[in-house]
Protein backbone atom coordinates (compact mmCIF):
# COMPACT_ATOMS: atom_id res chain seq x y z
CA UNK A 1 0.00 0.00 0.00
CA UNK A 2 1.02 3.59 -0.65
CA UNK A 3 0.01 6.82 1.12
CA UNK A 4 -0.21 10.20 -0.62
CA UNK A 5 -0.63 13.68 0.75
CA UNK A 6 -3.70 15.18 -0.98
CA UNK A 7 -5.95 18.20 -1.31
CA UNK A 8 -5.33 21.43 0.53
CA UNK A 9 -1.90 20.47 1.87
CA UNK A 10 -0.45 19.91 -1.61
CA UNK A 11 -2.13 23.04 -2.95
CA UNK A 12 -0.98 25.26 -0.10
CA UNK A 13 2.57 23.95 -0.20
CA UNK A 14 2.79 24.77 -3.94
CA UNK A 15 1.44 28.24 -3.21
CA UNK A 16 4.10 28.69 -0.57
CA UNK A 17 1.49 28.97 2.17
CA UNK A 18 1.60 27.49 5.62
CA UNK A 19 0.07 24.00 5.63
CA UNK A 20 -2.35 23.65 8.53
CA UNK A 21 -3.91 20.23 8.27
CA UNK A 22 -2.63 17.36 6.22
CA UNK A 23 -4.95 14.82 4.63
CA UNK A 24 -3.76 11.55 3.17
CA UNK A 25 -5.21 9.06 0.76
CA UNK A 26 -4.19 5.42 0.92
CA UNK A 27 -4.14 3.23 -2.18
CA UNK A 28 -4.10 -0.57 -2.16
CA UNK A 29 -5.21 -1.21 1.41
CA UNK A 30 -8.25 -2.68 3.18
CA UNK A 31 -9.75 -1.38 6.44
CA UNK A 32 -8.49 -4.53 8.11
CA UNK A 33 -4.90 -3.81 7.11
CA UNK A 34 -5.22 -0.23 8.39
CA UNK A 35 -6.54 -1.39 11.76
CA UNK A 36 -3.76 -3.98 11.97
CA UNK A 37 -1.23 -1.15 11.59
CA UNK A 38 -2.66 0.69 14.57
CA UNK A 39 -4.89 3.21 12.74
CA UNK A 40 -8.26 3.98 14.30
CA UNK A 41 -11.36 4.27 12.14
CA UNK A 42 -13.31 7.52 12.30
CA UNK A 43 -15.52 7.69 9.20
CA UNK A 44 -18.82 5.89 9.30
CA UNK A 45 -19.93 6.70 5.71
CA UNK A 46 -16.57 5.91 4.18
CA UNK A 47 -13.31 4.45 5.45
CA UNK A 48 -11.26 7.22 7.10
CA UNK A 49 -8.62 6.50 9.72
CA UNK A 50 -6.44 8.40 12.15
CA UNK A 51 -2.69 7.77 12.17
CA UNK A 52 -1.64 6.20 15.51
CA UNK A 53 1.03 8.89 16.15
CA UNK A 54 0.36 12.01 14.07
CA UNK A 55 -3.46 11.74 14.34
CA UNK A 56 -3.61 12.92 10.71
CA UNK A 57 -6.47 11.69 8.52
CA UNK A 58 -5.90 8.80 6.16
CA UNK A 59 -8.78 7.95 3.81
CA UNK A 60 -8.83 4.87 1.67
CA UNK A 61 -9.00 5.75 -2.03
CA UNK A 62 -12.63 5.81 -3.11
CA UNK A 63 -14.97 6.66 -5.95
CA UNK A 64 -18.35 8.27 -5.50
CA UNK A 65 -21.43 8.12 -7.63
CA UNK A 66 -24.48 10.28 -7.33
CA UNK A 67 -27.79 8.70 -6.39
CA UNK A 68 -30.60 11.18 -5.89
CA UNK A 69 -30.32 14.61 -4.32
CA UNK A 70 -28.44 16.16 -1.47
CA UNK A 71 -25.54 15.09 0.60
CA UNK A 72 -26.72 11.59 1.35
CA UNK A 73 -27.21 10.82 -2.29
CA UNK A 74 -23.77 9.31 -2.85
CA UNK A 75 -22.85 5.71 -3.25
CA UNK A 76 -19.26 5.23 -2.19
CA UNK A 77 -16.99 2.52 -3.53
CA UNK A 78 -13.77 1.84 -1.74
CA UNK A 79 -11.49 -1.11 -2.40
CA UNK A 80 -7.76 -1.79 -2.83
CA UNK A 81 -8.18 -1.61 -6.63
CA UNK A 82 -9.34 2.05 -6.63
CA UNK A 83 -6.47 4.05 -8.11
CA UNK A 84 -5.09 7.39 -6.98
CA UNK A 85 -6.31 9.02 -10.22
CA UNK A 86 -9.83 7.68 -9.64
CA UNK A 87 -9.84 9.14 -6.15
CA UNK A 88 -8.59 12.51 -7.42
CA UNK A 89 -11.32 12.54 -10.09
CA UNK A 90 -14.10 12.81 -7.47
CA UNK A 91 -12.64 16.03 -6.04
CA UNK A 92 -14.05 19.50 -6.60
CA UNK A 93 -11.36 21.77 -8.06
CA UNK A 94 -8.21 20.94 -10.03
CA UNK A 95 -6.07 22.82 -7.50
CA UNK A 96 -7.49 20.51 -4.81
CA UNK A 97 -6.98 17.34 -6.89
CA UNK A 98 -3.22 16.85 -6.67
CA UNK A 99 -1.32 14.32 -4.60
CA UNK A 100 2.25 13.98 -3.41
CA UNK A 101 3.83 10.62 -2.64
CA UNK A 102 5.93 10.06 0.45
CA UNK A 103 8.92 10.12 -1.93
CA UNK A 104 7.94 13.63 -3.01
CA UNK A 105 6.56 12.89 -6.46
CA UNK A 106 3.58 15.01 -7.60
CA UNK A 107 0.52 13.40 -9.22
CA UNK A 108 -1.51 16.00 -11.08
CA UNK A 109 -3.84 14.40 -13.65
CA UNK A 110 -6.12 17.43 -14.13
CA UNK A 111 -3.68 20.29 -14.53
CA UNK A 112 -3.99 21.62 -11.00
CA UNK A 113 -0.50 23.04 -11.02
CA UNK A 114 -1.10 24.96 -14.25
CA UNK A 115 -4.35 26.32 -12.81
CA UNK A 116 -2.50 27.40 -9.67
CA UNK A 117 -0.08 29.32 -11.86
CA UNK A 118 -2.91 30.75 -13.98
CA UNK A 119 -4.79 31.63 -10.76
CA UNK A 120 -7.91 29.79 -11.91
CA UNK A 121 -10.48 27.83 -9.93
CA UNK A 122 -11.61 25.08 -12.30
CA UNK A 123 -13.80 22.02 -11.73
CA UNK A 124 -12.15 18.63 -12.14
CA UNK A 125 -14.92 17.00 -14.16
CA UNK A 126 -18.61 17.14 -14.97
CA UNK A 127 -19.15 15.15 -11.75
CA UNK A 128 -18.77 18.54 -10.03
CA UNK A 129 -22.49 19.02 -10.60
CA UNK A 130 -23.34 16.05 -8.42
CA UNK A 131 -22.79 18.03 -5.22
CA UNK A 132 -24.14 21.58 -4.89
CA UNK A 133 -21.96 22.17 -1.84
CA UNK A 134 -19.11 22.50 -4.34
CA UNK A 135 -20.64 25.76 -5.57
CA UNK A 136 -20.31 27.25 -2.12
CA UNK A 137 -16.85 25.76 -1.61
CA UNK A 138 -15.71 27.28 -4.89
CA UNK A 139 -17.02 30.69 -3.83
CA UNK A 140 -15.17 30.25 -0.55
CA UNK A 141 -11.88 29.41 -2.26
CA UNK A 142 -12.41 32.46 -4.49
CA UNK A 143 -12.74 34.49 -1.27
CA UNK A 144 -9.67 32.91 0.27
CA UNK A 145 -7.38 33.30 -2.71
CA UNK A 146 -8.70 36.61 -4.03
CA UNK A 147 -5.63 38.48 -2.75
CA UNK A 148 -3.46 36.10 -4.80
CA UNK A 149 -5.44 36.92 -7.93
CA UNK A 150 -7.56 33.78 -8.25
CA UNK A 151 -10.92 33.84 -10.02
CA UNK A 152 -13.51 31.23 -10.97
CA UNK A 153 -12.87 30.27 -14.60
CA UNK A 154 -15.66 30.86 -17.12
CA UNK A 155 -16.44 27.16 -17.68
CA UNK A 156 -16.85 26.50 -13.96
CA UNK A 157 -18.99 29.60 -13.50
CA UNK A 158 -21.19 28.40 -16.37
CA UNK A 159 -21.51 24.95 -14.79
CA UNK A 160 -22.40 26.49 -11.42
CA UNK A 161 -25.11 28.58 -13.09
CA UNK A 162 -26.56 25.48 -14.71
CA UNK A 163 -26.62 23.72 -11.35
CA UNK A 164 -28.36 26.65 -9.67
CA UNK A 165 -30.89 26.87 -12.49
CA UNK A 166 -31.62 23.15 -12.07
CA UNK A 167 -32.60 23.82 -8.44
CA UNK A 168 -29.62 21.99 -6.93
CA UNK A 169 -28.92 24.62 -4.28
CA UNK A 170 -32.36 24.08 -2.75
CA UNK A 171 -31.32 20.57 -1.76
CA UNK A 172 -28.58 21.73 0.58
CA UNK A 173 -29.34 21.43 4.28
CA UNK A 174 -29.09 24.73 6.21
CA UNK A 175 -26.50 23.32 8.61
CA UNK A 176 -24.00 22.69 5.80
CA UNK A 177 -24.74 26.03 4.20
CA UNK A 178 -24.23 27.81 7.49
CA UNK A 179 -20.93 26.06 8.05
CA UNK A 180 -19.67 27.33 4.70
CA UNK A 181 -21.03 30.85 5.21
CA UNK A 182 -19.43 31.03 8.62
CA UNK A 183 -16.08 30.03 7.15
CA UNK A 184 -16.53 32.37 4.20
CA UNK A 185 -17.11 35.30 6.56
CA UNK A 186 -13.58 34.78 7.87
CA UNK A 187 -11.77 34.20 4.57
CA UNK A 188 -9.32 36.77 3.20
CA UNK A 189 -11.97 38.51 1.13
CA UNK A 190 -15.47 37.69 2.42
CA UNK A 191 -17.10 40.08 -0.05
CA UNK A 192 -15.70 38.01 -2.92
CA UNK A 193 -17.61 35.01 -1.59
CA UNK A 194 -20.90 36.87 -1.89
CA UNK A 195 -19.99 38.27 -5.31
CA UNK A 196 -19.35 34.78 -6.67
CA UNK A 197 -22.50 33.47 -4.98
CA UNK A 198 -24.45 36.24 -6.67
CA UNK A 199 -22.83 35.77 -10.08
CA UNK A 200 -23.79 32.12 -10.20
CA UNK A 201 -27.30 32.71 -8.86
CA UNK A 202 -26.88 30.81 -5.59
CA UNK A 203 -27.30 33.95 -3.48
CA UNK A 204 -30.77 34.55 -4.90
CA UNK A 205 -31.73 31.12 -3.54
CA UNK A 206 -30.02 31.29 -0.15
CA UNK A 207 -30.39 35.00 0.72
CA UNK A 208 -32.93 36.34 -1.80
CA UNK A 209 -33.26 39.62 0.14
CA UNK A 210 -29.79 40.57 -1.10
CA UNK A 211 -30.88 40.32 -4.74
CA UNK A 212 -31.66 44.01 -5.04
CA UNK A 213 -28.67 46.08 -6.07
CA UNK A 214 -29.14 48.49 -3.15
CA UNK A 215 -29.28 45.84 -0.46
CA UNK A 216 -26.41 43.94 -2.02
CA UNK A 217 -24.02 46.85 -2.23
CA UNK A 218 -24.96 48.09 1.25
CA UNK A 219 -24.35 44.60 2.64
CA UNK A 220 -20.97 44.28 0.97
CA UNK A 221 -19.74 47.72 1.99
CA UNK A 222 -20.70 47.07 5.60
CA UNK A 223 -19.17 43.61 5.54
CA UNK A 224 -15.92 44.93 4.09
CA UNK A 225 -15.73 47.51 6.86
CA UNK A 226 -16.40 44.97 9.64
CA UNK A 227 -13.87 42.63 8.03
CA UNK A 228 -11.20 45.37 8.04
CA UNK A 229 -11.95 45.91 11.73
CA UNK A 230 -11.43 42.17 12.29
CA UNK A 231 -14.99 41.80 13.56
CA UNK A 232 -16.45 38.62 15.08
CA UNK A 233 -18.62 36.15 13.16
CA UNK A 234 -21.75 37.73 14.63
CA UNK A 235 -20.59 41.21 13.59
CA UNK A 236 -19.84 40.03 10.05
CA UNK A 237 -23.16 38.27 9.77
CA UNK A 238 -25.05 41.28 11.14
CA UNK A 239 -23.20 43.50 8.66
CA UNK A 240 -24.55 41.37 5.85
CA UNK A 241 -28.20 41.55 6.89
CA UNK A 242 -28.59 44.83 8.76
CA UNK A 243 -29.73 46.86 5.76
CA UNK A 244 -32.87 44.68 5.53
CA UNK A 245 -35.95 45.58 7.48
CA UNK A 246 -36.12 43.96 10.88
CA UNK A 247 -38.67 41.32 9.88
CA UNK A 248 -36.83 40.15 6.77
CA UNK A 249 -33.55 40.17 8.64
CA UNK A 250 -34.95 38.10 11.52
CA UNK A 251 -36.59 35.51 9.32
CA UNK A 252 -33.57 35.14 7.03
CA UNK A 253 -31.16 34.77 9.95
CA UNK A 254 -33.43 32.07 11.36
CA UNK A 255 -33.82 30.25 8.05
CA UNK A 256 -30.04 30.16 7.69
CA UNK A 257 -29.88 28.55 11.14
CA UNK A 258 -27.22 31.00 12.23
CA UNK A 259 -26.25 30.60 15.91
CA UNK A 260 -28.26 32.67 18.41
CA UNK A 261 -25.64 35.36 18.94
CA UNK A 262 -25.52 35.96 15.16
CA UNK A 263 -29.30 36.03 14.85
CA UNK A 264 -29.69 38.43 17.76
CA UNK A 265 -27.03 40.87 16.66
CA UNK A 266 -28.37 40.92 13.10
CA UNK A 267 -31.88 41.63 14.35
CA UNK A 268 -30.71 44.40 16.66
CA UNK A 269 -28.62 46.04 13.95
CA UNK A 270 -31.53 45.94 11.51
CA UNK A 271 -33.86 47.38 14.17
CA UNK A 272 -31.43 50.13 15.19
CA UNK A 273 -30.39 51.39 11.80
CA UNK A 274 -33.67 53.16 10.96
CA UNK A 275 -33.92 54.46 14.55
CA UNK A 276 -30.48 56.03 14.30
CA UNK A 277 -31.63 57.67 11.10
CA UNK A 278 -34.58 59.23 12.95
CA UNK A 279 -32.57 60.78 15.80
CA UNK A 280 -32.59 64.55 15.93
CA UNK A 281 -28.89 65.23 16.33
CA UNK A 282 -29.36 68.83 17.49
CA UNK A 283 -31.72 67.82 20.26
CA UNK A 284 -31.75 64.07 20.85
CA UNK A 285 -34.70 62.76 22.85
CA UNK A 286 -33.37 61.22 26.07
CA UNK A 287 -36.45 59.01 26.48
CA UNK A 288 -35.99 57.56 23.02
CA UNK A 289 -32.30 56.92 23.66
CA UNK A 290 -33.04 55.16 26.94
CA UNK A 291 -35.62 53.02 25.19
CA UNK A 292 -33.06 52.04 22.56
CA UNK A 293 -30.56 51.08 25.22
CA UNK A 294 -33.21 49.03 26.99
CA UNK A 295 -34.12 47.26 23.76
CA UNK A 296 -30.47 46.37 23.29
CA UNK A 297 -30.37 45.13 26.91
CA UNK A 298 -27.24 47.20 27.37
CA UNK A 299 -26.86 46.47 31.06
CA UNK A 300 -26.91 42.73 30.81
CA UNK A 301 -25.18 42.56 27.41
CA UNK A 302 -22.51 45.28 27.28
CA UNK A 303 -20.28 43.32 24.88
CA UNK A 304 -23.09 42.72 22.46
CA UNK A 305 -23.86 46.43 22.62
CA UNK A 306 -20.32 47.33 21.61
CA UNK A 307 -20.59 44.83 18.74
CA UNK A 308 -23.80 46.55 17.76
CA UNK A 309 -22.03 49.92 17.72
CA UNK A 310 -19.26 48.55 15.48
CA UNK A 311 -21.75 47.15 13.02
CA UNK A 312 -23.83 50.33 13.01
CA UNK A 313 -20.69 52.42 12.56
CA UNK A 314 -19.81 50.40 9.47
CA UNK A 315 -23.37 50.47 8.13
CA UNK A 316 -23.60 54.24 8.50
CA UNK A 317 -20.36 54.81 6.63
CA UNK A 318 -17.52 57.23 7.25
CA UNK A 319 -19.52 60.40 6.61
CA UNK A 320 -22.26 59.61 9.15
CA UNK A 321 -20.40 58.57 12.28
CA UNK A 322 -21.83 61.61 14.07
CA UNK A 323 -25.23 59.92 14.04
CA UNK A 324 -23.95 57.37 16.55
CA UNK A 325 -22.68 59.91 19.05
CA UNK A 326 -25.93 60.45 20.98
CA UNK A 327 -26.34 56.70 21.44
CA UNK A 328 -22.74 56.30 22.55
CA UNK A 329 -22.86 59.11 25.05
CA UNK A 330 -26.26 57.93 26.31
CA UNK A 331 -24.78 54.46 26.89
CA UNK A 332 -21.73 55.88 28.68
CA UNK A 333 -23.74 58.05 31.01
CA UNK A 334 -26.48 55.50 31.70
CA UNK A 335 -23.92 52.85 32.53
CA UNK A 336 -22.66 55.08 35.32
CA UNK A 337 -25.82 54.50 37.35
CA UNK A 338 -25.03 52.13 40.18
CA UNK A 339 -28.03 50.21 41.55
CA UNK A 340 -26.11 49.52 44.77
CA UNK A 341 -25.97 53.19 45.71
CA UNK A 342 -29.71 53.44 45.19
CA UNK A 343 -30.30 50.34 47.31
CA UNK A 344 -28.27 51.89 50.08
CA UNK A 345 -30.53 54.90 49.88
CA UNK A 346 -33.41 52.55 50.76
CA UNK A 347 -34.92 51.75 47.37
CA UNK A 348 -36.11 48.23 46.75
CA UNK A 349 -38.41 46.19 44.50
CA UNK A 350 -40.45 48.08 41.95
CA UNK A 351 -39.34 51.43 43.38
CA UNK A 352 -35.72 50.51 42.87
CA UNK A 353 -36.40 49.74 39.21
CA UNK A 354 -38.11 53.08 38.78
CA UNK A 355 -35.32 54.94 40.58
CA UNK A 356 -32.69 53.33 38.38
CA UNK A 357 -34.63 54.21 35.29
CA UNK A 358 -35.18 57.85 36.22
CA UNK A 359 -31.56 58.26 37.23
CA UNK A 360 -30.48 56.86 33.88
CA UNK A 361 -32.89 59.13 32.09
CA UNK A 362 -31.61 62.17 33.97
CA UNK A 363 -28.01 61.34 33.18
CA UNK A 364 -28.76 60.75 29.50
CA UNK A 365 -30.68 64.03 29.31
CA UNK A 366 -27.76 65.86 30.84
CA UNK A 367 -25.18 64.17 28.63
CA UNK A 368 -26.98 64.88 25.37
CA UNK A 369 -27.85 68.46 26.27
CA UNK A 370 -24.25 69.32 27.11
CA UNK A 371 -22.10 67.37 24.65
CA UNK A 372 -18.50 67.13 25.73
CA UNK A 373 -17.07 67.66 22.25
Q: Which residues bind Mg ion (CB under 5 A)?
A: 8, 21
Q: Which is nearer to Mg ion, 21 or 245 (CB)?
A: 21
Q: Which is nearer to ligand ATP, 8 or 28 (CB)?
A: 8
Nearest distance, CB of residue 69 and Mg ion, angstroms: 25
Binding ligand ATP (rule: CB under 6 A), the pick from 8, 43, 109, 339 is 8
* From the list Mg ion, ligand ATP, none, partner contacted by residue 227 (C-beta under 5 to 8 A by kind): none
Nearest distance, CB of residue 113 and Mg ion, angstroms: 18
Q: Which is nearer to ligand ATP, 13 or 275 (CB)?
A: 13
* From the list ligand ATP, Mg ion, none, partner contacted by residue 108 (C-beta under 5 to 8 A by kind): none
Pairwise CA distance, residues 76 & 61, whole Å: 10
By CB under 6 A, how many residues form the interface with ligand ATP? 12
* From the list Mg ion, ligand ATP, none, partner contacted by residue 96 (C-beta under 5 to 8 A by kind): ligand ATP
**Candidate ranges 76-84, 89-97, 165-173, 359-367; the one touching ligand ATP (CB under 6 A):** 89-97
Binding ligand ATP (rule: CB under 6 A), the pick from 7, 47, 313, 326 is 7
Q: Which is nearer to ligand ATP, 91 or 363 (CB)?
A: 91
Nearest distance, CB of residue 290 and Mg ion, angstroms: 50
Binding ligand ATP (rule: CB under 6 A), the pick from 108, 115, 120, 131 is 131
* From the list ligand ATP, Mg ion, none, partner contacted by residue 115 (C-beta under 5 to 8 A by kind): none
Binding ligand ATP (rule: CB under 6 A), the pick from 23, 56, 246, 328 is 23
Binding ligand ATP (rule: CB under 6 A), the pick from 82, 121, 133, 225 is 133
Which residues of this protein are in contact with ligand ATP, per CB under 6 A?
7-8, 21, 23, 91-92, 96-97, 131, 133-134, 137
Amino acid sequence: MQAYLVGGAVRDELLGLEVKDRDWVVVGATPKQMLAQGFTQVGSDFPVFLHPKTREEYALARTERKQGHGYHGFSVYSAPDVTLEEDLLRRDLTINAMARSEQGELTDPFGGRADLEARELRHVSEAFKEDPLRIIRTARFAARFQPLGFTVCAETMALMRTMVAAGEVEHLVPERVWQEIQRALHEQSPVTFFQVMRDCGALAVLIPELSSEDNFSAALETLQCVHSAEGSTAERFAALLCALDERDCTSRAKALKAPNDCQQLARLAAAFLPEIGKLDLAQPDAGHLLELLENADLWRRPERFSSLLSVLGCALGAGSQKRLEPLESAADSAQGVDPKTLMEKGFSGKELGEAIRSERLARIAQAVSSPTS
